[in-house]
Amino acid sequence: MGVYLNPGNSGFAEILESRYVDKTGLIGLINNSINTKSKLTCVSRPRRFGKSYAAQMLCAYYDRTCDSHDLFSGLKISIDKTYENHLNQYDVIYLDLTGIKPYTDNFKILISFITRNLKNEILESYPDVRLREDLPGMLVETVQYSGKKFIMIIDEWDAPIRENPEIQQEYLEFLRSLFKNSGVTPKVFAAVYMTGILPIKKDGSQSAISDFEEFTMISPRAYAKYVGFTEDEVRDLCEEKDVNFALMKQWYDGYRFKDTGSVYNPNSVMKAASYNDFASYWTETSAAEGLMKYISMNYAGLSKTIAELIGGIDVPVNTVGFANDLVTFKNRDDVLTLMIHLGYLAYDSENKTAHIPNEEIRLEFQRAIRVVDHEATVKRLMECDQLFLDTIHGNEEAVAKQIEKIHMEETHPLKYNREDSLRSVIKLAYYTYKDHYLQIEELPSGDGFADVLYLPITKEYPALLIELKWDKSAEGAIDQILRKHYPSALENYGSDILLVGINYNKDAPAGERKHSCSIIKYNMSQA
């Protein structure tokens, strides 16, 4: 067994020693691609979503120098019809590019490092193979000698592009020499599996290595259930560990894919289950470091979009033009698309919109916006903080004025009076709520639905129940809250709440739709 050629199964054996969520079904997908036109596969997903686990699993399964029957016995792949056909039948080339980085001068000598070490390990395994200057030619001769094609697995394939853009062209040419070479690719590789954070880099509008089948956070297709943990897998884990599933869902759910449903971040779920502690484990990854950079970029409409996202609003995004790197941005859509690939945002493929997926990531946004160097964002933060204080202290005139300002600035004239727009106005106005509150929309209560409820994390702050109406009065909005018994949903809350009614005249000319506000303290003994 070698380091880069046939690394064995010890990595996967170690994984199985801890609580393992069975993702071996992925092997069946790769098996079905072997020696077909679809044998080149690139799967991209965010950090800490199990990419390296999958790569080590594939090494253990395909590596001909070990016997992995005991490891896979009882796992899902063991009952797949392709199981015995491919188990431990191939020479495996395994490259963990983040592991290689320290030996390559920040990837500057990456190609020569890979070429030299693979040649050396091939000669150790097959001493009669002729040493050649070019790696592709030597791989062809090795297959001719051994009679066995290679399975190649590249973990963090995009690390050189992310971390040293200067070597991008040389690196892509190296990949083309292996995977877009009619004299090499069909003869050498039974299958190739690459995984990373970004999809394959584009040259213009096309992928630089166009023969790969790509599965991304925007379009995972058959690989959706292997992006992370499915809801059934999380539910089973919570039952086993006696962990609150509802809280697990609130904190880590939010990525949803067609025919798969909810998908959770495996790293965060496993840590929350192990510690029985719900927190943002995202901060323990380097992914969090880049968030401040992206949300403070100076592209038209981006600041407003970030405010909408933090307010809990789904925003439209065009993902088509993204160049699949960390430096080539043309507009707001490119920044949002990158954030989808990095896991900061979840993508709704049906509606072509993005949103912050869960409380864990929302907390990271809240932390990031506190330190970004962006004048408009800082101003909005200060206004929002002041709005909470004005609401809590019953400053009705100031609350009405700020809601009116947000309503005018952030709502398209044609959507000014739509119910979803009014709810969005509230969420935008109070968008730093995560500092002290949980936000609940359309709380089923009494005879209807409250607009937005802010439930305090600690009893230091009162609960806020906010209703925004038109052509009535602020007092009329309060009356609706009471008449429809909205506070009854909080009968077990155990503390008083503030009822906030806001009203405006919808038929007044633009710029003259003055908002009014009424705030009353509601004693829960009245509910």
Average pLDDT over residues 375-389: 78
Closest CA to 20 of 236, 222, 196: 236
Q: Is the pLDDT of residue 362 over 60?
A: yes
Total-model pTM: 0.79
Q: Which amino acid is at 348?
A: D
DSSP 213: E
**What is the reported pLDDT for 411?**
63
The answer to whether the Cα torsion of 12, 16, 18, 20 is positive or negative is positive
Helices (H), 78-129: 83-86, 97-100, 110-125
Which part of the chain is CATH 3.40.50? 10-215
Which string of DSSP letters, residue by residue, matches 351-388?
Answer: TTEEE--SHHHHHHHHHHHTT---HHHHHHHHHHHHHH
Give me the mean pLDDT over the 11-20 stretch: 95
| pLDDT tens digits, one per residue of 244-267 | 999 999 899 989 999 999 999 999
How far apart (Å, rounded) are the C-alpha atoms in residues 341 and 344? 8
Reply yes or no on whether the pLDDT at 494 is more than 70. no
The phi, psi pair for 197, rounded to 5°, reads: -90, -40
Model confidence at 505, in pLDDT bands (50, 70, 90)? confident
pLDDT for 22 beyond 90:
yes
- Mean predicted lDDT score pLDDT of the chain: 87
Counting beta carbons within 10 angstroms of the beta carbon of residue 340, is it exposed (0 to 12), middle (13 to 18) or buried (19 or more)?
buried
Residue 214 has pLDDT above 50, yes or no: yes
How many whole angstroms separate alpha carbon 198 and alpha carbon 45? 7
Residue-level pLDDT at 414: 44
Q: DSSP letters of 216-277?
A: -SS--GGGGGGTSEEHHHHHHHHHHHT--HHHHHHHH--EEETTTEEEE-HHHHHHHHHHT-
For 323-348, what is each residue's pLDDT tens digit?
888 888 999 999 999 999 999 999 99
* Percent of the chain's residues with pLDDT above 70: 89
* Residue linked to tokens 């150790």: 124
Residue 205 has pLDDT above 60, yes or no: no
In this prediction, residue 443 carries a pLDDT of 60
Q: Residue 170 pLDDT > 60, yes or no?
A: yes
Helix (H, G, I), strand (E, B) or coil at 473: coil
| The two three-digit tokens of residue 394, written as one number | 């019953």
Q: Which residues contact 268 (CB under 8 A, 6 or more apart)?
A: 48, 251, 252, 280, 281, 282, 360
CATH number attached to the domain at 10-215: 3.40.50
Confidence at residue 175, expressed as pLDDT on a 0 to 100 scale: 95
Residue 354 bridge partners (DSSP):
315, 347
pLDDT at 421 over 50: yes
Q: Write the secondary structure of 396-465 as one string of H (helix), E (strand) and C (coil).
A: HHHHHHHHHHHHHHHCCHHHCCCHHHHHHHHHHHCCCHHHCEEEEECCEECCEECCEEEEECCCCCCEEE
In the three-class reduction of DSSP (H, G, I as helix; E, B as strand; rest coil), residue 84 is classed as helix
**More confident call, 267 vs 493:** 267
What's the rounded mean pLDDT across residues 483-501? 76
Rounded CA Rg of the chain: 27
Q: Name, of 303-317, 407-421, 442-456, 479-493, the range with top average pLDDT.
A: 303-317
CA atoms within 13 A on the CB side of 445: 24
Which range, 3-12, 195-204, 478-487, has the best average confidence (pLDDT)? Answer: 3-12
Angle at 166 between CA 161 and CA 171, to 5 degrees: 55
The answer to whether residue 15 scores a pLDDT higher than 90 is yes
Question: pLDDT value at position 178?
Answer: 96
The share of the chain scoring above pLDDT 90, in percent, equals 57
**Lowest pLDDT segment from 318-332, 367-381, 423-437:** 367-381
- The whole-number average pLDDT for the span 131-147 is 95
Cα(405)–Cα(91) distance, rounded to whole angstroms?
Answer: 65
User: Which of 43-47, 63-67, 321-325, 359-363 has the highest average model confidence (pLDDT)?
Assistant: 63-67
Query: What is the mean pLDDT of the segment spanning 504-509?
Result: 76
